[in-house]
Amino acid sequence: MFKCRLMPASRMAPPGRRILVTGALGQIGTDLVEELRARHGTASVIASDVREVPGHPFLEDGPFRLLSVLDGDGMDAVVREGGVGTIYHLAAILSATGEKNPNLCRRVNVGGITNVLEMAMKHDLRVYAPSSIAVFGPDAPKLSTQDSPLNPTTTYGETKCTGEALARGYLDCFGVDCRGIRYPGLISWKAPAGGGTTDYAVEIFHAALEKGHYECFVRPDTRLPMMYIDDAIRATLDLMDAPPESLGNSRAGYNVSGISFTAQELADTIAERIDGFTCDFVPDVRQKYADSWPDAVDDSVAQDEWGWKAEYDLDSMVDAMLEGLSRS
Ligand code: NAD
Ligand code: SER
């Protein structure tokens, strides 16, 4: 795939350069930009997205750019004019939306990371580009390890495998330091989930508080790897802070383990806290995508190489979600 010109050591962006976040108004970006701005200062973090979300705080607080990741020239201008040294590349089409529109999913997910990696090569940038548990397919063990086979049956999963391969190629050939995590399904309350299969684990909280009832689109025995957003943000920043020499061949897509629970266990845990909450299970097409993914992942490589350990379990995640949503 690549014609290697040279094989330099991994390059680090000089300190003091700003951070660009693509897809910043989405589920993860909403939490990640807030944490990056708390650490580096508001003016140092440029939020960008292809859309404006009415009322989203990033449109008013701090630098925001309307930017499609498919617009290479536009990205180049933002990087040069903004003095960018690191890109957190979150823009993507997630699994449920992606399976409805596979061409869009391929275009945005593969085209987006290609533009970001080209930008990184040209301007000496560091990159964070997340992967997903969707890289695994039905032939992977239900407890998937770092080296389990990557044969996804969703287009979304294929694009994530391609993203990992591109990141490895740009590191080997051009020394681009691109790191990534195979996020489990992420559970957060500041922004809605963005069209994924694991969205039920977010929607259920909103429905429980607003209506006392949820119609869940997967079977009650569906078990998937999940993670509370605070753990995911900490994992992201810990990985980006890790010294390059501690990272091995998994740098483009580390397994990280959070919580593994069934949809029924989630509903029961919420019902213990909200009197009268009920949940029906009416599986739709997303059941097939969920069934093709592992139940849980083994993250011993992330533990060994950069000290990863999750903090939230099912009870503390449910408490944090209900508290966050009740305050917001
Ligand atoms: P999201 O759908 O909530 O947000 C993605 C954002 O990208 C949206 O705001 C959307 O407007 C933007 N976007 C779409 N097309 C764009 C384009 N052409 N140019 C610029 N922006 C565009 O997704 P998320 O949950 O925040 O996911 C972020 C990343 O993490 C993605 O790569 C996703 O695959 C990965 N991931 C997420 C989860 C999860 O559970 N949320 C799990 C595994 C991996
Ligand atoms: N949570 C994501 C999705 O369901 C997995 O990458 O699409």
pLDDT digits (tens, 9 = 90+) for 196-252: 999 999 999 999 999 999 999 999 999 999 999 999 999 999 999 999 999 999 999
Ligand 2 atom with the shortest distance to the CA of 186? 1
pLDDT digits (tens, 9 = 90+) for 68-88: 999 999 999 999 999 999 999
Domain positions in the chain: 18-184+251-255, 186-227+257-327
* 112 residue type, one letter: G
Evaluate whether 282 touches 213 at the Cβ level (below 8 Å): no
Residues with Cβ within 8 Å of residue 237, at least 6 apart in sequence? 35, 36, 39
Q: Write the CATH number of the domain with boundaries 186-227+257-327.
A: 3.90.25.10
Q: Which helix (H) or strand (E) holds 18?
A: strand 18-22
CATH class of 18-184+251-255: alpha beta
pTM of the model: 0.96
Tell me if residue 312 is catalytic.
no
Q: What is the residue with the minimal CA distance to atom 2 of ligand 2?
A: 196
The pLDDT value recorded for residue 217 is 98
Whether ligand 2 lies within 6 angstroms of the CB of 159 is answered as no
Whether ligand 1 lies within 6 angstroms of the CB of 181 is answered as no
Whether ligand 2 lies within 6 angstroms of the CB of 194 is answered as no
Task: Name the residue of 158, 197, 228 whose CB sits within 8 Å of the most ligand 2 atoms, as the mutation to test its pocket.
Answer: 197
pLDDT digits (tens, 9 = 90+) for 38-55: 999 999 999 999 999 999
Residues with Cβ within 8 Å of residue 292, at least 6 apart in sequence? 136, 137, 138, 152, 153, 154, 157
The pLDDT value recorded for residue 7 is 39
pLDDT digits (tens, 9 = 90+) for 123-162: 999 999 999 999 999 999 999 999 999 999 999 999 999 9
